[in-house]
Structure 1
Amino acid sequence: MANTPQSKKRTRQNEARYAVNKARRSRIRTYLRKVEEAISAGDPAVAVEALKSAQPELARGVTKGVLHKNTASRKMSRLASRVKALSA
């Protein structure tokens, strides 16, 4: 249990950051799910648009510290290749 005033403050700050980061992760997953659904539906136009909207969200997750840079890069790359294969 937190005893010092500073440790109590850190606990409050951690809870606030946790809530913000949880919302960010959820938002990113929603965008990724939209791309996945468009790919599984087989609609290249919708998939391309969904990917274009998901890429900035992934990049924002990196800058905000929610995702690792390589994780976001890997996800973008794999989605882009799947969308490209769908278009071809």
Structure 2
Amino acid sequence: MANTKSAKKAARQAERRTLVNKARKSRVRTFVRKVEEAIASGDKEAANLALREAQPEIMRSASKGILHKNTASRKISRLSARIKALGQAA
């Protein structure tokens, strides 16, 4: 357990940040899941709409340090590729 006053404060701050980060990560996963569900249903329009909503959320998580910048870009790229492939198959 933290002994000094500054260590106790750091522990409190870390606890708060953990809760905020957990909520942000959960929010990103929800948006990504909505895109994946739209892709699974085969609806390209719905998938495009869901991706347009998810993209800023994913990039915001990268800017806040929840995801690495390259990880966020990779997620967006792969979702876009899957949506594009959806149009090719139909």
TM-score by structure 1 length? 0.98
Residue of structure 1 equivalent to 2:82: 82
Gaps of 5+ in 2: none
What secondary structure does 1:74 align onto? helix
1:39 paired with 2:20, answer no
Please report how far the alpha carbon of residue 87 of structure 1 lies from its aligned counterpart in structure 2 after TM superposition.
Answer: 1.9
Residue of structure 2 equivalent to 1:3: 3
Residue of structure 1 equivalent to 2:51: 51
1:70 paired with 2:70, answer yes
Please report how far the alpha carbon of residue 48 of structure 1 lies from its aligned counterpart in structure 2 after TM superposition.
Answer: 0.3
Amino acid in the other structure paired with 1:32: V
Deviations 1:48-73 (A, max 9, x none): 00000010001100111100000001
Structure 1 stretches of at least 4 aligned residues deviating more than 3 Å after TM superposition: none
TM-score by structure 2 length? 0.96
What secondary structure does 1:8 align onto? helix
Gaps of 5+ in 1: none
CA-atom RMSD in angstroms? 0.5
- Separation in 1, partners of 2:85, 2:9: 50
Identity within the alignment, %: 61
